[in-house]
Chains A and B, each alone.
Chain A
């Protein structure tokens, strides 16, 4: 009876340790993927914000101190390492389809 309890506890402990190691691995993996995802959406958000800033300064006919380079006609492109993000620059012209929410 005493031996059976010890075996059960050992099995339980090994399962806990297995779970724990899985969680540590998952933590490290999630940390890495979270950072990558954050970098991607940060760059995308920055491109969108720069585009809206460019639009705001253009629409209000103001000198824009926020410089960016990259992209082409109607869009801007940001690069950070291997990552790329683009966003449309409307230059004050927004064409919205009828019935489409703004």
Chain B
């Protein structure tokens, strides 16, 4: 009889402990990992921007070097600029096919955007659940993106060629830029980045 009651006593103590601890799993909220996901989204965004600038820099130097190796009598500055732009566009076509991360969808584009595009497009991507390009923007491998490559050719052999990824826009408040839309179906986060308009890439 006493053994049975002791068993009940221990069982009751256990029930007490579990009764008190049972609600604790509710401590985890939906936004538990959101801060980490935001950091990851930013990290991928910076990777995309850096890859875009490195690709532009590499193909600028490679295509300029290839053109400069032609015989002197066949060269002229207009053709050289076209060769550089064609080289950079071919690099962008390769970059567009690159998978940056299995958790993120990336779409590279060029086009005319506003200061609100970043927030508006991010919101649209989250609502639609897929990566979207900005309105009226072209895929980065499109030949029309050549308009967004401003080439400043070297005048002396010791100088370096440089490019700026920008374009003036006929519409007020709009500006031409080269950038990327980034969306993660896994995390439900989105971002829009573009190369700073005033930055010269060498």
Binding site for B on A (CB under 8 A): 9, 12-13, 16, 19-20, 23-24, 26-28, 30-31, 33-35, 37-39, 41-42, 45-46, 49-50, 52-53, 55-57, 60-66
Residues in A whose Cβ lies below 8 Å from that of B189: 62, 65
Q: Are B26 and A38 in contact (CB under 8 A)?
A: yes
- Does any Cβ of A come within 8 Å of B38's Cβ? yes
> With A34-B20, A38-B23, A62-B42 given, is the CB distance from A53 to B12 under 8 Å?
no
Given contacts A38-B26, A39-B23, contact A20 B32 (CB under 8 A): no
Contacting A16 at CB < 8 Å: which of B9, B20, B21, B26? B9
Of the listed stretches B118-126, B144-152, B160-168, chain A binds B118-126
Given contacts A46-B29, A49-B29, A56-B39, contact A20 B12 (CB under 8 A): yes
Q: Interface range on chain B: under 10, 10 to 19, 20 to 34, or 35 or more?
A: 35 or more
Return chain B residues, CB-CB under 8 Å to A53: 31, 34-35, 38
* Contacting pair A20 B27 (CB below 8 A): no
Query: Which of A23, A27, A65 is within 8 Å of B126, CB to CB?
Result: A65
- CB interface residues, B 7-31, toward A, < 8 Å: 8-9, 12-13, 15-16, 19-24, 26-27, 29-31
